[in-house]
């Protein structure tokens, strides 16, 4: 009887350890970290000029991290950083003015950041992401209307990619940028088109056909 009792106890312990490991793997699988892929991502803006035309521009240097939990999107987070000096409207004289203290004052405020505070479902394939947008030394709450993320797709190297688009509208006056009003409109449209990858930019990628590294002991 004692031997039988020991066997039953051992089986119960093994089962408990298996369930504990399974729960741990499940929790790890739920939380996923994604990185903005700079060559395939863009932070764009638009503003009215004299009330009759629309000027569009982009920031060419953008990076960030998205932590996602597909089973509970309220646990997701977004952290994006933009190099303000990378502003590009295709007119160098205008870009220099935008970098000056008339607008972004990049010498004093070199980055623009967005840090989420809340993520909510907003219908099939849509989200509302509320967070703090810091620009020109001012932080204001902004809501992004998000399409996505798309289902993941694998590239030939085995890395997973997802796509996300987001829009928002802000007032430049809210951020202390009132120069040249009303010649330049106050309302700024923001359009983000982002590709996410499951490997941090710059991390070495294995060549095709390279066997995976040995498992840690």
List the domain boundaries for the chain: 1-30, 31-197
DSSP 35-85: EE-GGG-EEEEEEEETTTEEEEEEES-EEEEEEE-TT-GGG-EEEEEEEGG
Between CA 133 and CA 115 the distance in angstroms is: 7
CATH of domain 31-197: 2.40.128.110
pLDDT in tens, 159-199: 999 999 999 999 999 999 999 999 999 999 999 999 999 98
pLDDT at 23 over 50: no
CA atoms 157, 162, 163, 166: torsion sign: negative
Between CA 212 and CA 158 the distance in angstroms is: 11
pLDDT in tens, 77-127: 999 999 999 999 999 999 999 999 999 999 999 999 999 999 999 999 999
pLDDT at 6 over 60: no
């Amino acid at each position: 009887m004692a031997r039988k009792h020991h066997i039953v106890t051992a089986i119960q312990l093994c089962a408990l350890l298996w369930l504990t490991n399974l729960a741990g793997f499940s929790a790890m699988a739920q939380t996923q970290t994604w990185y903005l892929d700079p060559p395939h991502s863009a932070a764009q803006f638009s503003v009215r000029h004299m009330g009759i035309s629309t000027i569009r521009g982009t920031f060419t240097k953008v990076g960030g991290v998205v932590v996602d939990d597909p089973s509970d999107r309220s646990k997701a987070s977004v952290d994006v950083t933009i190099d303000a000096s990378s502003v590009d409207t295709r007119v160098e004289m205008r870009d220099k003015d935008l970098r000056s203290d008339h607008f972004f004052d990049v010498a004093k405020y070199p980055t623009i950041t967005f840090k989420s505070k809340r993520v909510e479902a907003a219908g099939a394939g849509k989200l509302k992401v509320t967070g703090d947008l810091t620009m020109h030394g001012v932080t204001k709450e902004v809501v992004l209307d998000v399409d996505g993320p798309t289902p993941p797709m694998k590239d030939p190297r085995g890395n997973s990619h997802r796509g996300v688009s987001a829009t928002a509208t802000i007032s430049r006056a809210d951020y202390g940028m009132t120069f040249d009003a009303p010649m330049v409109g106050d309302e700024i449209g923001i359009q983000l088109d982002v590709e996410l990858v499951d490997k941090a930019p710059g991390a070495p990628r294995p060549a095709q056909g390279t066997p995976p590294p040995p498992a840690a002991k």
